[in-house]
Structure 1
């Protein structure tokens, strides 16, 4: 991969695949304090009209930005991020779910030592985060 100190517009800086399981959801719930039952109970998800148990939105966002953090090697170089939740990640009780992320340099300002990385985040062939962007320091 390209060094985080020198990137060019359009460079793919990172790619990742994350396997999310029901166990992942339980662990995230414990860490985050988000125990909404749509994240672990099929009957509740069904009762409120969802297609199944959903991954936490913030877990999905965290996974999406993780590949950029891994590429940078230092989480302090991430100066901001944003995303719009467009589709849920449905976590099958047996197979789980695979979230795929591709991170590309969308803006590079060498004089300021900053860049914007756009993320394409998909599950089951569908984009699950829209306008997903991470701002980084190149210094």
Structure 2
């Protein structure tokens, strides 16, 4: 193992460690519906069993970014237990990837594993990459998510921020000493292995033969209000007050409250699935965040989505789609790619 830089935190040594989350997650029918509403994913398969059945699923199909709810719990468990030297108010997410081997559906009983893939120390910040693997009750990998977090180092947290956060942050149940461990350390050999194949039948509106590299998807505009941000914060259990408190946003150097990056990413999933016609067709979806959506108090923010076909794979009958999102003419995604299955 390489020696740590003199100013690097001890947590750098945690890179490469694997953990199993002690508890499981049961996917509820109404949770799927409320998450779909929160990210404005309107496909009827998220809301009605009959429409999910038309696509071959026995229960409601969760939106492509639903695993972020489970991932938030996993990230919080890591911060509470093994990455405890970092303060949530000093952390920013820069990248998110979802690799979807099959969609999550209502009724799933899921368990999770987490790997701290890397911790890189650069210019006074730590770049922490966490991989979260979601498995079903039989132990089959359903989805894999990867997130990169940037933690600011080099000084105590501002006392004004501490007081503000204590006054406005959402309450959550604190771990008590009598609880069993939330994270169970496991070896690399014990960790789940990602599957190599995708055996999903899809029924998409565009067919593979209809597409060519360079084709443009139609422009779509979506809106976010302060109410949408408050709703998503509760549904996704995201406690960061910069998304609902003007005072917190100001202390963070922001012009006003801003939308969650994963909420914006969820809107992008709606843009994709409305074009595809089948939410199960999204095989992977990744975003590097480069901007934020400011949401004024009295009018909605407008987000414009466009995309084009970057590549086609005739063997897999799949397309790689390059997405673009803007707000007030400013780019929100540094790079956003989706691999989609096609009929």
Distance of 1:75 and 1:19 partners within structure 2: 21
Stretches of structure 1 that go unaligned for 5 or more consecutive residues are none
Deviations 1:109-129 (A, max 9, x none): 223201001101101101111
Stretches of structure 2 that go unaligned for 5 or more consecutive residues are 1-204
Distance of 1:45 and 1:96 partners within structure 2: 17
Aligned to 2:36: none
User: As a proportion of its length, which structure holds more strand?
Assistant: 1
Q: Pairwise mapping of residues 73-84 of structure 1 onto structure 2 (< 5 A)? A: 73-84=277-288
CA drift at 1:45: 0.6
Distance of 1:54 and 1:86 partners within structure 2: 13
CA drift at 1:23: 0.6
- The alignment status of 1:109 with 2:274, answered yes or no, reads no
Distance of 1:85 and 1:54 partners within structure 2: 13
Deviations 1:69-101 (A, max 9, x none): 111111111000111110111111112211110
Aligned to 1:26: 230
Aligned to 2:296: 92
Distance of 2:218 and 2:339 partners within structure 1: 14
Corresponding pairs, count:
137
Tell me if the contact between 1:15 and 1:67 (Cα under 8 Å) persists in the aligned partners: no
- When the two structures are superposed, what TM-score results if normalisation uses the length of structure 2? 0.39
- The alignment status of 1:37 with 2:241, answered yes or no, reads yes
- When the two chains are superposed, the root-mean-square deviation of aligned CA atoms in Å is 1.2
- When the two structures are superposed, what TM-score results if normalisation uses the length of structure 1? 0.93
Distance of 1:138 and 1:94 partners within structure 2: 41
Deviates more, 1:10-19 or 1:70-79: 10-19
Distance of 1:71 and 1:20 partners within structure 2: 20
> Larger RCO: Structure 1 or Structure 2 (Cα < 8 Å, ≥ 6 residues apart)?
1
CA drift at 1:63: 0.7
Runs of 4+ in structure 1 over 2 Å off: none
